[in-house]
Structure 1
Amino acid sequence: MTKLDKLLTIDELMAEARRRVPKQFFDYADSGAWTESTYRQNTEDFKKIFLKQKVAVNMEGRSLATMFGGQAAAMPVALAPTGLTGMQCADGEIKAARAAEKFGVPFTLSTMSICSIEDVAENTSKPFWFQLYMMRDRAFIERLIDRAKAAKCSKLVLTMDLQILGQRHKDLRNGMSAPPKFTPKFIFEMARKPRWAMQMLGTKRHSFRNIVGHVEGGGDLSSLSQWTASQFDPSLSWKEVAWVKERFGGEVIVKGVLDPEDAKAAVAHGADGVIVSNHGGRQLDGAPSSIRVLPEIVDAVGKDTEVYLDSGIRSGQDVLKAMALGAKGTFIGRAFLYGLGAGGEAGVTRALEILRREMDITMALCGERDVRNIGAHNLYSVDLPPRRLPGQN
């Protein structure tokens, strides 16, 4: 039995990742905006949802297999797009994508990844999804979409909640950057995390390879940093959904929706799916948790499109609770990043194994044999008060 095999929860993977990953990059994954209240609520609100136990039912022949975004999946979980994944572990996006492919769940590559679209495509054998930020340089965005098409990405996830970057105090205090600045503080961190440092020395992937070499001045690190900081587009509107969809020529899923009216607008402008997400609590601090607003968004658009949930998943029970409240599937970000930091590709696999086992046991104790049958009837109660105030529509 390996050390990873002895880790039984996502929290234990997190503790191991904290020991292995330099502070600025662990904190990047494990931080929220401002006071981090929304980050905390994403997980705390799952604890207010209670499952209904059933006994004397046949628990044989259980299955977690489902359809996720029109493709077969081993369970209703996908790897979410996460920036700087390749700084949790050398070649992190490649390792995470390979783990997802072998496990049979979707992987989504971020625009702000360390490994490029081409890097991941060259090291995997099945189509993956690509997440897109709309930036001011539309010529670059056109080329980025075309590169995703050339790599045969099967879906495009358009993130709508990063028109302006939320204030994340940990990143500011740590001076977080990719590649890292070799300050005395960071050199000390590398000395404390020699395995991470040696793996990083063995790869050429240390910066945003979807951007480096693809924009003017992108080869110069100072120019790249300035370019990235100035590129998020505050004028983003719903009309971009149709434009992106036409350019991509495939399905586009809109990510970052917390309001039913926004969900309706996304569908009206051509979205093929909606991801209920508050960016892991990294944007608007004080916003509600994703699980709290999921039911009203399902009520608003669930008959017209598939609704997924992102933010706060830390266990297989969380996945089932989201399914019971109407989600067609869930995305995990930090949960797989902890695995990646703890043990590379094997660590991501371990995170997925933990979730699968927790789902399987919980589903059985709820009296269900097929995850596709999970619904509100599996909940005892939901201690989450309505989000809207009296008099609000």
Structure 2
Amino acid sequence: MADWHEITGGITAPRGYRAAGITAGLKPSGLPDLALILSDVEAIAAGVFTTSQVRAACVDYCRQRLQAKQNARAILCNAGQANAATGTQGWFDALESAMTVAQALNIPSESVLLASTGVIGQRIKMDKLKAGIPQLIAALSETGSDAAAGAIITTDLVPKSIALETTIGDRPVRIGGIAKGSGMIHPNMATMLAFVTCDAVVSPALWQQMLSRAADRSFNSITVDGDTSTNDSLIALANGQSRTPAIIEMGPEAEKLEAMLTAVCQHLAKAIARDGEGATCLMEVQVTGAHDETSARQIAKTIAGSSLVKSAIFGRDPNWGRIAAAAGRAGVPFEQENLQIKLGDFLLLENGQPLSFDRAAASAYLKQAAAGAYLKEDTVLIFVSIGNGYGSGKAWGCDLSYDYVKINAEYTT
């Protein structure tokens, strides 16, 4: 039983945060495209970023800022232009963006973190961004989470948001989050942005450790299409406004806080996978019997990322051979006579031996998941066991449809 419960409010549910999202004219569509998250006080800041060698200016900016100073007040995010592979001028644009917000808020520029999303190779439309900053700040609100969530998306079909509450030291502690992502999604991390706020009091080193572990169990365990982006950013703030006892080392209270942080990240990660471009259903792969959690997650991610598995799911074909093949090439040693595969309630393979099963019923199970798209009933569950080890792990993905090609063939046009 979880030690927390879901609440409303998203990114502004924790105490001491405001957010806003506006239309600044950065997107050709005229949809909202500029978001700001602000803590009333300096907050402990942590981040996890793309592993790509081709990185957006905002990623390098945030890495430098967090290495020098592990706190922040604000996160500015623009949608429409990725500001990646934009050279020296793209870097200067990032600096100017932070400076513009900082001056308008009367805070140090190093207290502003940045994120961008959109087309690679395109600089931010700085004239429009700077002109929109006063309106953005004026729109800041303790109920501004939904507006911010809507302003950071690109090809997403739906905004992604969550907030949870628990009790630490007899006082409520909250964590909220918003995210965007739909395509170019693959560990490590994905073309995704995620912003998390928390009102607990936690040490900088511990907050970073918690976030890194939560990322491994969530955003680093999803895949849509096997492509890693230039802009992936997960940024988390903890501003201490809950007035709870300080958490400075691992223990029961730290474990509770990390578990809730992981739950927030997993909810957002699954929402991204569920909203995969052209997807009709969410896939959850659960692997058990491995030597350790890392090995189990590696197999789960390989299965979830297999184009053949994803295509079979879209075709409503219970082709367990593709699942077995993906598990076998994951780079994790195991004896194939120990392999077991289940699709939902259908046991397809046991002790490395194929079993008779109702193929029509298994196909109907996949069709039912597709019919429940964007609902909790849309998840295709794949269970794989490779032995008797204690290691278990999960990964999430989506099916691969005709629409994925159509969406990405026309993305810049």
Larger Rg: 2
User: Quick check: which one's strand share is greater?
Assistant: 2
User: Quick check: which one's helix share is greater?
Assistant: 1
Aligning the two structures, in what range does the TM-score lie when normalised by the shorter sequence?
under 0.3
TM-score (norm 2): 0.25
> Greater relative contact order: 1 or 2 (C-alpha under 8 angstroms, separation 6 or more)?
1
